[in-house]
Structure 1
């Protein structure tokens, strides 16, 4: 599998797990409209989710990750 596709799948999985978990958690704590719950969960998940990307280097294409909880980039 190409690293671009791996990055796309990892980005989707990271966002979706945080979105569903955040929506359920916020839904238990607050009684808001479902559209407002989805919007708040989507914003929170897009900020908190790790970002993956495929980077071309001299030795080949590598999968890199950036997250707000770690400093700098991490190679996978």
Structure 2
């Protein structure tokens, strides 16, 4: 699997990890209806999920991560 694909899958997994619980809380526990739980879950997930970026550097292909809860930009091994 290429590092570009891994970066995409990491982004997807991070987004889903925040989207599903937030959507469940909004839809079931707070009894919101229609599209509001999905909209709120999308906004929360977009803000809280880590961002992964694939870059070609002089040392080779690398994946970097930026997240609200981690200071700075980290390289993913």
What TM-score, normalized to structure 2? 0.90
Question: d(CA) in 2 for partners of 1:50 and 1:62?
Answer: 16
- 1 or 2, which has the higher strand percentage? 2
Quote the offset at 1:31 in angstroms: 1.8
Q: For structure 2, which runs of at least 5 residues remain unmatched after alignment?
A: none
Alignment of 1:1-76 (within 5 A): 1-76=1-76
Structure 1 distance, partners of 2:22, 2:3, is 28
- Cα drift, residue 29 of structure 1: 3.6
CA positional deviation for 1:25: 2.0
CA RMSD of aligned residues (A): 1.1
